[in-house]
Each structure stands twice: as structure tokens, then as C-alpha cells.
């Protein structure tokens, strides 16, 4: 009797639709559209809020469903969010990870046969996915190096009148941070060697010098950490020199560094209030305004509207069973660039978009590409 009751109860439950198959199993035509899980790393760097919204919109434009979750720079939290996507029957995941602790969640996706696209940040130490889409991040770093080269006129500088620079890098857990730094140092190292440029504070020649790289890195890209380090530098290593430049890896950290400089009375007196040449990346509106007003020197525009669009075009092709997608507006990394997709466990297909260097003379380029609201764009004119 007990058994019969159980069987009846189970049948009733199944009839209620609870076992009627996940949304993803129903696929596109047969009921609800396929679900794409979108896992973004953090909201304290503005771009990710935009990325999340753009990705969801691009997914929905294609008749798929998109769910977005933000990991708050906490990999455990993001892993739980990925689990929820899988439980909800996601057909594909788009993941911008926080650190390589994500590999366990990616392994679960592979077990469930759910393909993963690493978005913007490569997922390291995982052999459980096949696709990566990002910008040419080495070039982003080269642009930052070139910004300093131009801003300090290093090509015509001489060792008897050297320029002083201090170095910051992004999060040591973000593989991109290494590309940015190495790209920048590929431009700056020759000037250090020739004595034209002097590094104040730790000087890793490349990110491979991990103990020195760790000293200049900024855990989880947190602005207060960079601000604090800049304040300390101004009171210690840089106390007796006038800094001519700061290599800052993105706009959020650049503005934190600017704040530290502006708040330092000694620095302001010694430098006549003139800020060092400070680099950035992401073309955040606040930084574009700062460039227009002559504070931040440069940024790098990565059109994340296009990145999201390309990522979703890739997602659609993968969902449709194409194992060799070609994505307009991107270049598939081959030759020397192939290593961009090397996770340490396998080399995934890496699709690259081109970044653009932004200085005062072309500060309107992102606005012209529709990157800011109309109200913001008007403030830059
Ligand atoms: C992204 C940058 C961003 C940084 C901090 C990097 O992985 O490529 O655009 O500024 O993370 O969120």
C-alpha cells in the first residue's frame, strides 16, 4: 500500500510538470527558448555591469533566454551561480571568471555537456572548455606603454635628464593582468635599460618575475588597494623624486591613483600640482572626462558592445552544433597569437577584437561608437 501511494504521488508530481524536462531540453522551437547563463565577475569595475546587460540583450535578441549573475569578486559565489545555471538547464555558459578556482565549476559544466565560452578573461588550468573571446590584451598593454613613451617624449629623452615612473598591475589572479603588463613593458624596458627611464619602487621586467609582480599587483582590481599603495609610495620610495609617470592598468585604478596624488600636499607642492602621465584602460566615462580635462593621460577603448555581440554570435553557432565558428569582427588567434588561448591544460580557440588607444585628441571616439549615453557624450564635446 505504502508503495502504491508513493507511485501515485510520483505520478501526480510528474503530471504537474515538474519532470516535464528542463527548458534547455525543450530547445528553441519546442517550448521555452534555450537558456544561456551569463556569469560576470564583479560590479566594482563599471564595465562588467554594461557587459552583463549587453550580453543579456544580445542573447534575447536572438530569441534565447539570458540570466546574468555577478560574482562580487568571490570565486565561490560565482561557482554557486554557475551551479544554479546548470541546475536550471542552461544550454551554454558565458563566463568572465575571478580566479582559476572556477575550473571546478567548468568541469561540472563539461560533465553536463554544457559548452562554456571564457569571456574577456581566459579560464586557466582547465581543459574542460573550447572557446575564448577577448581583445588583443597584449596590444592593450603596448598602447599603455606607448602612451607613456609619447607623454614623456622618451624617444628624445637622454639619461642625463631621466624620467621617473612607478608601476602598477592588475589582479594577480587575472591572466589578463599579465598580458597588459608585459605589453606595456615591451615598450618601456628598452628605455629603462638605456637609463632614460628610472623605475621608482619594485621593477619586474615582466610578469614572469612573480615575486616583484606580486608587489605591484592589485588584488581583485580593488581601487582602495591601489590608492593606498600610491599614498605609501608618495611617502616612501617616491618621497624625494618628482614622478613623471604611473603605469596604471585600468581606469578604475588610474582614478584612485590620481586621487592619491591630488591629496598629497607634499607631492602637489613639489610638482606644482601637475599630475604624472597616468595610463588606463576601459574608456570609462569618468576617465574620458578626466582625459578631456587634462588629468588622466590616456585610456584604451575596448568596445565591449561589440565583444558582447560577438560572444553571443559565437554562443549561437555553438548551440547550433558548429564546432568551427567564424565570428565577424574578430580574428581567430593563430601563429604567435595562438598561445593567448593556452590555459595550461589545453589551447582553446581564441577570438580577438582590436582595442583603440584614446588620448585627448580622439577622446570622442567611444562616444561616436555609441559607448556613452547621449548626456555623457555631450559633456565630452
Ligand atoms: C578586463 C579589464 C578590466 C579588469 C578589471 C580585466 O580582466 O579585461 O577590462 O578593467 O579586468 O575588472
> Does ligand 1 have an atom closer than 6 angstroms to the CB of 73?
no
Choose which residue among 48, 137, 174 to substitute to test ligand 1 binding: the one with the highest number of ligand atoms within 8 A of its C-beta. 174
The pLDDT value recorded for residue 16 is 36
Indicate the CATH number of 33-129+303-353 among 3.40.50.2300, 3.30.910.20, 2.60.40.10, 3.90.550.10. Answer: 3.40.50.2300
> Does ligand 1 have an atom closer than 6 angstroms to the CB of 221?
yes
The pLDDT value recorded for residue 294 is 95
Q: For residues 234-268, b (16+ Cβ closer than 10 Å) or e, as one string?
A: beeebeeeebbbbbbbbbbbbbbbbebbeebeebe
Cα(195)–Cα(136) distance, integer angstroms: 30
Over the chain, what is the mean pLDDT?
92
DSSP conformation class of 290: H
Question: Domain 137-301's class?
Answer: alpha beta
Please give the number of the atom of ligand 1 that sits closest to the Cα of 252. Answer: 10
Residue spans of the domains in the chain: they are 33-129+303-353, 137-301
What separation in angstroms does the CA of 292 have from each of 130, 359, 361?
A: 41, 8, 9
Question: How far does Cα 208 stand from its chain's mean position?
Answer: 20
pLDDT tens per residue across span 162-213 = 999 999 999 999 999 999 999 999 999 999 999 999 999 999 999 999 999 9
Please give the number of the atom of ligand 1 that sits closest to the Cα of 48. Answer: 12
> Does ligand 1 have an atom closer than 6 angstroms to the CB of 284?
no
Domain 137-301 in the same topology as domain 33-129+303-353:
yes
Choose which residue among 78, 135, 280, 282 to substitute to test ligand 1 binding: the one with the highest number of ligand atoms within 8 A of its C-beta. 282
Average of pLDDT values for 129-146?
A: 98
> Does ligand 1 have an atom closer than 6 angstroms to the CB of 349?
no
Q: Nearest Cα to 109, choosing from 39, 31, 32?
A: 39
The pLDDT value recorded for residue 24 is 37
Choose which residue among 71, 122, 133, 250 to substitute to test ligand 1 binding: the one with the highest number of ligand atoms within 8 A of its C-beta. 250
> Does ligand 1 have an atom closer than 6 angstroms to the CB of 282?
yes
> Does ligand 1 have an atom closer than 6 angstroms to the CB of 51?
no
Four-point Cα dihedral 209, 213, 285, 369, nearest 10: 20
DSSP conformation class of 89: T
Please give the number of the atom of ligand 1 that sits closest to the Cα of 304. Answer: 9
Ligand 1 centre to CA of 279 (Å) is 14
The pLDDT value recorded for residue 44 is 95
How many alpha carbons lie under 13 Å from residue 352 in its C-beta half-sphere?
18
Ligand 1 centre to CA of 192 (Å) is 27
pLDDT band at 353 (very low <50, low <70, confident <90, very high): very high
Q: What are phi and psi of 68, to 5 degrees?
A: -110, 140
pLDDT tens per residue across span 18-62 = 333 333 334 444 468 999 999 999 999 999 999 999 999 999 999
The pLDDT value recorded for residue 31 is 60
* C-alpha cell belonging to residue 255: 582614478
Helix (H) or strand (E) run with residue 356 in it: strand 356-358
> Does ligand 1 have an atom closer than 6 angstroms to the CB of 301?
no
Closest residue by Cα to atom 9, ligand 1, is 282
pLDDT tens per residue across span 274-328 = 899 999 999 999 999 999 999 999 999 999 999 999 999 999 999 999 999 999 9
Ligand 1 centre to CA of 251 (Å) is 9
Percent of the chain at pLDDT > 70 equals 91
pLDDT tens per residue across span 328-337 = 999 999 998 8
Please give the number of the atom of ligand 1 that sits closest to the Cα of 96. Answer: 7
> Does ligand 1 have an atom closer than 6 angstroms to the CB of 59?
no
Neighbours of 179 (CB within 10 A): 23
Query: Looking at the predicted structure, is the pLDDT value of residue 13 above 70?
Result: no
Average of pLDDT values for 96-102?
A: 98
Choose which residue among 40, 41, 45, 97 to substitute to test ligand 1 binding: the one with the highest number of ligand atoms within 8 A of its C-beta. 45
Please give the number of the atom of ligand 1 that sits closest to the Cα of 282. Answer: 9
Ligand 1 centre to CA of 223 (Å) is 12
Ligand 1 centre to CA of 96 (Å) is 10
DSSP conformation class of 347: B
The pLDDT value recorded for residue 268 is 73
Question: How far does Cα 50 stand from its chain's mean position?
Answer: 12
pLDDT tens per residue across span 233-283 = 999 988 888 899 999 999 999 999 999 999 987 777 766 778 999 999 999
DSSP conformation class of 342: B
The pLDDT value recorded for residue 21 is 36
Amino acid at each position: 500500500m505504502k508503495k502504491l501511494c508513493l507511485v501515485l504521488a510520483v505520478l501526480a508530481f510528474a503530471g504537474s510538470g515538474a519532470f516535464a524536462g528542463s527548458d534547455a531540453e525543450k530547445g528553441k522551437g519546442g517550448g521555452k527558448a534555450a537558456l544561456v547563463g551569463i556569469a560576470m565577475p564583479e560590479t566594482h569595475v563599471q564595465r562588467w555591469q554594461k557587459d552583463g546587460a549587453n550580453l543579456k540583450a544580445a542573447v534575447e535578441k536572438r530569441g534565447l533566454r539570458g540570466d546574468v549573475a555577478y560574482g562580487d569578486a568571490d570565486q565561490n559565489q560565482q561557482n554557486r551561480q554557475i551551479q544554479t545555471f546548470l541546475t536550471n538547464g542552461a544550454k551554454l555558459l558565458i563566463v568572465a571568471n575571478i580566479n582559476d578556482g572556477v575550473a571546478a565549476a567548468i568541469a561540472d559544466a563539461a560533465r553536463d555537456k554544457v559548452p562554456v565560452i571564457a569571456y574577456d578573461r581566459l579560464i586557466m588550468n582547465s581543459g574542460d572548455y573550447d572557446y575564448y573571446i577577448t581583445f588583443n590584451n597584449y596590444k592593450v598593454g603596448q598602447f599603455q606603454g606607448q602612451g607613456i613613451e609619447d607623454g614623456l617624449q622618451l624617444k628624445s629623452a637622454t639619461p642625463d635628464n631621466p624620467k621617473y615612473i612607478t608601476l602598477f598591475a592588475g589582479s594577480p589572479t587575472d591572466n589578463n593582468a599579465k598580458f597588459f603588463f608585459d605589453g606595456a613593458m615591451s615598450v618601456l624596458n628598452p628605455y629603462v635599460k638605456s637609463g632614460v627611464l628610472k623605475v621608482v619602487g619594485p621593477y619586474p621586467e615582466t610578469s614572469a618575475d612573480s615575486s616583484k609582480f606580486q608587489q605591484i599587483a592589485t588584488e581583485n582590481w580593488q581601487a582602495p588597494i591601489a590608492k593606498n599603495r600610491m599614498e605609501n609610495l608618495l611617502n616612501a620610495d617616491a618621497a624625494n623624486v618628482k614622478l613623471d609617470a604611473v603605469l596604471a592598468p585600468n581606469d578604475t585604478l588610474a582614478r584612485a591613483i590620481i586621487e592619491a596624488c591630488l591629496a598629497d600636499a607634499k607631492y602637489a607642492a613639489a610638482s606644482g600640482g601637475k599630475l604624472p602621465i597616468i595610463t588606463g584602460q576601459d574608456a570609462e566615462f569618468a576617465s574620458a572626462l578626466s582625459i578631456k580635462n587634462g588629468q588622466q593621460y590616456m585610456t584604451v577603448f575596448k568596445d565591449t558592445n561589440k565583444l558582447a555581440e560577438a560572444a553571443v554570435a559565437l554562443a549561437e553557432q555553438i548551440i547550433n552544433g558548429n564546432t568551427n565558428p567564424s565570428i565577424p569582427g574578430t580574428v581567430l588567434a593563430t601563429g604567435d597569437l595562438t598561445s593567448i588561448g593556452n590555459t595550461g591544460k589545453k589551447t582553446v580557440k581564441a577570438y580577438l577584437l582590436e582595442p583603440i588607444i584614446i588620448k585627448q585628441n580622439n577622446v570622442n571616439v567611444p562616444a561616436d561608437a555609441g559607448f556613452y549615453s547621449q548626456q555623457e557624450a555631450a559633456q565630452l564635446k
